[in-house]
A and B are shown apart, each in its own frame.
Chain A
């Protein structure tokens, strides 16, 4: 796709939460985004996994509580 990991994750989050990409920042989290509950958290994680072709560990899924954190962990996996 040629897009950066950051851009892709922000787009996915925007789609999952039904908002625009501009409204999603690295700081977006369950506290700042409406609808980010445990079901949507799972959906977000699955969408990132599918699109980037990676798999997160359960510990990582629990700890990734912001868009920035997801970008960071995903970045590590892809650059390993």
Chain B
């Protein structure tokens, strides 16, 4: 270990930040703990400029000592690409702090507020002296506690947009009335009602999330988690060995809250999805069933399938003969994952770094949106050095631990699941089938026709508001102006008679993509200004954009506009949209610093929907 530290310092000294980072990550995976947290963070500081870190300010309101967890949170964050600035509130002063607009909490302007309060402080009567209480006093204590959480959330919400992560309250491991507690609505049930109340508050407010503290403790074991001596001596209830688990649990929320997540998972095959090597052991030889050791691989496949249901795109990246590997995927009776779950394949003998680059390109996502799952530590190290942007899922040596390791990867955590998310994995598979069709079509037009595309264009409604805002925030590639809008901002626009807001949904013979396009226009004095025009990368290059623009032009004509105008604002990522106006007959009327302005006269006829797309338009 000492040697590894010196090596890290030598690599930093030599300016090899990718190699230094790879070693730091490895060191952290091997021996994460309070001892090396400081070392890891200080070395990350030295190479931070090369890392592309995501910054966030986290404030912790607490009723116990969290100071020793902060270095672990910092280090674990840096390992995952997060630069966290962390503020700790004073002991049990959060109720005052949230009421004072000038308090250090608000001056800090946190993005995330963690409420780490224990039952002994949030509901002291219920925790300490439950046996003394009459039923009414229990009810009153439950109500009081829920009310204090509600006020906490609403007070902060009125002064800050920060997201909340609230620890639910711990159920006592040994209830006051012994085994009787389970027979009647006792102490555990009372605290459970407070937790139900906290969940209700989270449902009623946007951006409020519950951290299931009982689940965390159950996972780790209470006897293992608890250190009663440190609690009495230093108000620290968590044992030294478990402090990092608390930090990791916070990171499961911080990753999705900061957008530091992955869209796709690229998986190896041999000794990852099944035991053994298909090329050597064949269909009968590989291990994949309900018994040991095949069950370990089946469990991992179950986790991967769960991720697919959560909207994670799946791909295969394996060194194998494609025919043998595909036969196993399609026919092996033990497989839970099948060809229909994978959006792309790289089964060959090439370098896996090159394969991952190609997969990112084929899936039309950034390389930093890919996570890599491989049992072979040498492949993992290779990718870590070659493609530092890729998230590596660290796996233990024992396959029985694979499933848990993947479940704990914070880059696949999601805070909400839209209908779009649930079918995303499927949509990318359909996309692969489209590409396969395109390769066999004789001409592009032929391909478009064979797709049997239909689009639905509709005014934004209360039901589609969230998706509309989400698309303005997330679409990078085919986006003319890349203006980001919140739901509230779009709602404001809808109130004005000049603004029009459209959504576009697309479907074809392979499936329904749902809402994939948004346009926002403002018509005034005969000019219809295209404020925003964007399409998800899933559907670009299929002339759907032409159909969308034609509809907007027609709508503008109807309200008396004579000119359709719009800007193109160049960003690092929106090259696919650059030629859009020009290709559709717009004239460039101005150009300057990364921006150009385009106009189209609506007096002449033109801009029609391609013959191969059927449009179903709803009036506003």
B178 at the interface (CB under 8 A from A): no
Q: B60-79: which have CB < 8 Å to A?
A: 65, 67-68, 71
Partner of A55, one of B35, B232, B236, B240: B240
B348 at the interface (CB under 8 A from A): no
Partner of A43, one of B71, B227, B233, B241: B71
Pairwise interchain contact B71-A49, C-beta atoms closer than 8 A: no
Residues of A within 8 A of B (CB): 1, 3, 7, 11-12, 15-16, 18, 21, 39, 42-43, 45-51, 53, 55, 57-58, 61
A52 and B597 alpha carbons, distance in the complex (Å): 66
Question: Which residues of chain A are within 8 angstroms of B241 by Cβ–Cβ distance?
Answer: 49-50, 53
Asked if A47 and B35 make an inter-chain contact with CB atoms under 8 angstroms apart, the answer reads yes
CB of B229 within 8 A of CB of A58, answer: yes
Asked whether A46 and B233 contact (CB < 8 A) given A1-B1, A55-B239, the answer is no
CA distance A34 to B241 in the complex (A): 26
For residues 24 through 41 of chain B, which have their beta carbon under 8 Å from a beta carbon of chain A? 31, 33-39
Known contacts A55-B239, A58-B229, A58-B232; is A43 also within 8 Å of B34 by CB?
Answer: yes
Q: In terms of DSSP, what is the predominant structure of the interface of chain B?
A: helix
Q: Least Cβ distance of A16 to chain B in Å?
A: 6
Distance from A57 Cβ to chain B, minimum over Cβ atoms (Å): 7
Please state if A51 and B67 are interface contacts (CB–CB under 8 Å).
Answer: no
A46: chain B residues at CB < 8 Å are: 34, 68, 240, 243
Q: List the 3 shortest-distance A-B pairs measured between CB atoms, nearest first.
A: A47-B35, A49-B240, A47-B34
Contact digits for B225-239, partner A, Cβ 8 Å, 1 yes 0 no: 001010011101001
A39 touches B39 (CB 8 A): no
B179 at the interface (CB under 8 A from A): no
Which residues of B (181-240) have their CB < 8 Å from a CB of A? 227, 229, 232-234, 236, 239-240
**What are 20 A-B contacts with C-beta separation under 8 Å?**
A1-B1, A3-B1, A3-B2, A7-B2, A12-B35, A15-B37, A15-B39, A16-B38, A18-B42, A42-B68, A42-B234, A43-B67, A43-B68, A46-B240, A47-B34, A48-B35, A50-B35, A50-B240, A53-B241, A55-B239
Q: Roughly how many angstroms separate A15 CA and B31 CA in the complex, as a whole number? A: 14
Task: Determine the residue in chain B with the shortest Cβ distance to A61.
Answer: B233
Chain B min CB distance to A5 (Å)? 13
Measured in the bound complex, the distance between the Cα atoms of B68 and A57 in whole Å is: 18
How distant is the Cα of A52 from the Cα of B372 in the complex, in angstroms?
33
Tell me if B1 and A42 are in contact (CB < 8 A). no
- B67→A50 contact, CB < 8 A: no
Chain A min CB distance to B224 (Å): 11
Verify A15–B35 contact, CB threshold 8 A. yes
How many angstroms between the C-alpha atoms of A50 and B243 in the bound complex?
9
A47 near B2 with CB under 8 A, answer no
Evaluate contact between B233 and A58: CB separation under 8 angstroms: yes
Which residues does chain A contribute within 8 Å of B232, judged by CB atoms?
Answer: 58
A50 and B33 contact, CB distance less than 8 A:
yes
Output the residue of B42, B67, B240, B241 with the most chain A CB within 10 A: B240
Cα of A21 to Cα of B236 in the assembled complex, Å: 28
CB proximity of B448 to chain A, nearest CB, Å: 61
**Smallest Cβ-Cβ distance to A2: which chain B residue:** B1
* In the bound complex, CA of A42 to CA of B232 (Å): 13
Q: CB-CB < 8 A to B233: which residues of A? A: 58, 61
State the Cβ distance, B535 to closest chain A Cβ, in Å: 51
